[in-house]
Amino acid sequence: MFTFTPIGYVRSPYRQKFAIPRQPGLVPAARGEVVFTGEFADPNCLREIEQFSHLWLLFRFHETAARGWSPTVQPPRLGGKDRVGVFASRSTFRPNGIGLSAVTNLGWEHRDGELVLQVGGLDLLDGTPIIDIKPYLPYADSIAAATGGYAETAPGNAFAVTFSAAADEALAALAATYPDLRQLVTAVLEQDPRPAWRQRDPDDKQYGMSLYDLNIKWRVYPDGLEVVRIEPAGLED
């Protein structure tokens, strides 16, 4: 038996599991922070980390851990219906609920009494506990001859994303607070975050996702996807 002490937690634009990219790096515009806590909020822990362009974040799937694990899972890349073994997947429903993400190192700073490490290409939920950080080593971590099985290639951009007049107005009003919001919303929605089984069928449903403290409402059409509204979280139709 063993236990882990988190070294900190993540501040992320993703406030719900829905719409988080299925792998790190798919949405470079997704920037976040690791906020260090307790004895780990010591700048000595980060000495020379600026030498590395990318980092590995080891973390806990805290939102799904209580739901347990399964020997087999249904990867989205297989349409969400075919099953593979849990160890042949990156499913969140794992025996120990541990995840691994490669992120871009954007530097660290002291801010408002906190030690924070800024990262890019994030695919983690806001509040995710961080267990450890390790430097990404290209000579060891990138294997040219590796094969990717049923996930051999990166998912393509499924949709052209447009914005309604109302959404454009909201982006303009929010530009000072969230200058890269259009880029982030576009990159997230290009990945088509709907359930894998839903992506194959005609769809006239309005969807919503939470980024920062905002609700993003969008619809799918045969020739693309439109962001309908952007509004403060908590407002309902």
What is the tens place of the pLDDT at every residue in 60-94?
998 877 788 889 988 877 877 789 999 998 888 89
pLDDT at 40 > cutoff 90: yes
Structure tokens at 232: 């403060």
How far, in Å, CA of 117 to CA of 108, rounded? 4
Amino acid of residue 73: V
From-to residues of CATH 3.30.2310 in the chain: 161-232
How far, in Å, CA of 156 to CA of 150, rounded? 14
pLDDT at 110 > cutoff 90: yes
pLDDT tier at 46, thresholds 50, 70, 90: very high
From-to residues of CATH 2.40.30.70 in the chain: 8-141
Residues 27-32, mean pLDDT to the nearest whole number: 92
Enclosing H/E stretch for 188: helix 181-190
Q: What fold does the segment set 161-232 form as a domain?
A: YaeB-like fold (3.30.2310)
Of the CATH numbers 3.60.20.10, 3.40.50.720, 2.40.30.70, 2.60.40.10, which one belongs to the domain with range 8-141?
Answer: 2.40.30.70
Does this model's pTM top 0.85? My answer is yes
pLDDT at 108 > cutoff 70: yes
Per-residue pLDDT tens for 200-215? 566 778 899 999 999 9
